Amino acid sequence: MVAFYAALRSIKLYPLEHSTVQKTLGELAQVAELMRSEEGELEFRISGEFIFINSTRLRLDLSNYATFGHILSLCKAAGIGTIHVGARGTVREWSLLLTLLGGETKVSPDERLAEIISRLKQAAIELFQLDPPMQAGTDQEFNEEAKAAANRTYSQSVAVTKDVINSVRIGKTPNIRKIKRVVQGIVDQVLNEETSLIGLTALRDYDEYTFTHSVNVCIFSVALGRRLGMTKLQLYELGLAALMHDIGKSRVPLDLLQKTGDLTEEEWKWMAAHPWLGVLVLFQFRRQQEELSYRAMTVCHEHHMKVDLTGYPKPIRPRQVSVLSKIVTIADGYDAATSRRVYRTEILTPASVLEEMRDNPRRGLDPVLVKAFINLLGIYPTGTLVVLDTFELGVVSAANPNPDALSRPIIKIISDAQGNVTSPPLVVDLGIPEANGEFARTIIKTADPERYGVRVSDFL
Ligand SMILES: [Fe+2]
Ligand SMILES: [Fe+2]
């Protein structure tokens, strides 16, 4: 951004041939190419008042306000929402884009964008792909669309995962490319709009546990990875590893997986073998042309090992559990504990699961990553039934995007103080205070949906 700004300024001040202009443009082309080759792509995107470079939102503060603000207003005036930068840009290509961007104008942003695109085309410059900002439309419309897209991604992912697991079970090698596409779909969806997919993880289907579990672990892992600042390519790798973490279970007899009672020692041996069985399955995948990273195998192997190595399999030598495994272990533990399964009648509320993950050292989780995970989901994760100080009941529908308001999620109020059903449910952002600065509603506790006869999935 600094290089971009410097080049814009110098073009404004000097003629194009001037050495300062050539130097700043050269630096811009160089740094852009460096980023592109390191991260695999380079995309500059504006969303509202935020600037994203690939998946990272740039932090706006006083020291860079002038720089960012200037670029933001130029792009807005030029009708630009995203600039996708191709490989090995030259000074000539960048100079034309910046000249066009900095030019004076009286036409509307839409017309400006069309003009810039056609001028680049005339000059035979294909380095940049410019697109208008994502139309937010009316919020309602946008939300509906985002929700529909998230639903599509989710159900496709579950279908492909089911296919993969079932084909491994009957001894076939599934198509890796298909799995990779699923992961890409999830990563893209999480990058575009974090909350919509996370909301879907609460809609677990009891019969399809094995498949929805893998997809949920993938979604939680990718969303957490994103919070940790991973690049898109790193997220692909993490997502793939997360989706495949339990693939070894397809080598464990089905009746054992579905058994409700206690396991015999022999049976437990089978269950505890699924991490390394998974590594073998992934090794077989490697016969295909498509590259499959060793990191996915590491995650398979390590996801029950725990940070203090008290889990299984027992490592022979001292080792450090990889960060991808630590992330997947957290996602795995959370999803398993919040799902209702055959052999568990009592289900913990999502909030109490998070609390337990944070406070119980025997879980063997990385405390810093757990903290980031709680930041991601909020103290009251999506799908939590909550009681408000107004005695109304609500279901959490999304975490508050503001990290300072973790205890004030977006909720749907489903019944009033007298217990009458609110239909349709009233959507309230608990983080918005009244005119007098006080909050109209505050969560006082979470509640067990069973006890209130509420099916939270009906409200998600
Ligand atoms: Fe597992
Ligand atoms: Fe699992």
Q: Which two tokens stand for residue 129?
A: 């792909």
Report CA(451)–ligand 1 centroid distance (Å): 30
Ligand number nearest CA of 300 is: 1
According to the 3-state scheme, what is the secondary structure of 260-298?
Answer: CCCCCHHHHHHHHCHHHHHHHHHHHHCCCCCCCCHHHHH
Residue 144 neighbours by CB distance under 10 Å = 12
Ligand number nearest CA of 211 is: 2
Residues contacting residue 427 through CB under 8 Å, at least 6 positions apart: 397, 410, 411, 412, 413
Report CA(300)–ligand 1 centroid distance (Å): 8
Report CA(275)–ligand 2 centroid distance (Å): 10
Mean pLDDT computed over 18-44 = 93
Q: Which two tokens stand for residue 17?
A: 């041939």
Q: 333-361 pLDDT, tens per residue?
A: 999 888 765 455 566 778 888 989 999 99
Question: Counting every residue, how long is the chain?
Answer: 460
**H helical segments located in 83-231:** 91-102, 109-122, 139-169, 176-192, 194-200, 209-227
The pLDDT confidence band at residue 136, using thresholds 50, 70 and 90, is very low
The pLDDT confidence band at residue 137, using thresholds 50, 70 and 90, is very low
Report CA(246)–ligand 1 centroid distance (Å): 5
Identity of the highest mean pLDDT range in 102-111, 310-319, 397-406, 428-437: 310-319
Report CA(300)–ligand 2 centroid distance (Å): 10
51 has which bridge partners? 46
Percent of the chain with pLDDT over 70: 92
Q: How far from each other are the two terminal CA atoms of the chain, in whole angstroms? A: 39
Report CA(253)–ligand 2 centroid distance (Å): 16
- Tell me what pLDDT residue 23 has: 94
454/307: higher pLDDT: 307
Q: How far, in Å, CA of 457 to CA of 319, rounded?
A: 41
Ligand number nearest CA of 272 is: 1
Q: 305-340 pLDDT, tens per residue?
A: 999 999 999 998 989 999 999 999 999 999 988 876
Q: 272-292 pLDDT, tens per residue?
A: 999 999 999 998 887 665 667
Report CA(280)–ligand 1 centroid distance (Å): 14
Range of weakest confidence among 75-89, 224-238, 339-353, 421-435: 339-353
Mean pLDDT taken over the chain: 86
Report CA(208)–ligand 2 centroid distance (Å): 13
82 has which bridge partners? 45, 131
Report CA(3)–ligand 2 centroid distance (Å): 45
Residues contacting residue 254 through CB under 8 Å, at least 6 positions apart: 169
Q: How far, in Å, CA of 118 to CA of 21, rounded?
A: 24
Ligand number nearest CA of 330 is: 2
Report CA(456)–ligand 2 centroid distance (Å): 23
CA-closest candidate to residue 288, choices 177, 185, 182: 177
Residue type, 240: L
Q: How far, in Å, CA of 324 to CA of 83, rounded?
A: 31
Report CA(246)–ligand 2 centroid distance (Å): 5
The gap from C-alpha 211 to its chain's centroid, in whole angstroms, comes to 19
Ligand number nearest CA of 341 is: 2
- Residue 418, judged by CB atoms within 10 A of its CB (0-12, 13-18, 19+), counts as exposed
- Tell me what pLDDT residue 412 has: 93
Torsional class of 391: left (φ above 0), alpha (ψ -120 to 50), beta (otherwise): left
Q: 202-251 pLDDT, tens per residue?
A: 766 656 788 899 999 999 999 999 989 999 999 999 999 999 999 999 99
197/301: higher pLDDT: 301
Residue type, 269: K
Q: 144-198 pLDDT, tens per residue?
A: 777 788 888 898 899 999 999 999 999 888 888 889 999 999 998 888 766 678 8
Ligand number nearest CA of 278 is: 1
Report CA(388)–ligand 1 centroid distance (Å): 37
- Tell me what pLDDT residue 319 has: 92
- Tell me what pLDDT residue 60 has: 62
Q: How far, in Å, CA of 3 to CA of 379, rounded?
A: 40
Please give the helix or strand (H or E) that residue 36 lies within, else none. Answer: helix 19-39
CA-closest candidate to residue 392, choices 416, 418, 414: 416
The pLDDT confidence band at residue 138, using thresholds 50, 70 and 90, is very low
Mean pLDDT computed over 287-301 = 82
**C-beta of residue 183 within 8 angstroms of C-beta of residue 190:** no
Q: How far, in Å, CA of 324 to CA of 298, rounded?
A: 9
Please give the biggest Cα pair distance in the chain.
81
DSSP 383: T
pLDDT at 142 over 70: no
Mean pLDDT computed over 431-449 = 86
Q: 257-271 pLDDT, tens per residue?
A: 888 788 899 999 999
27/403: higher pLDDT: 27
Ligand number nearest CA of 301 is: 1
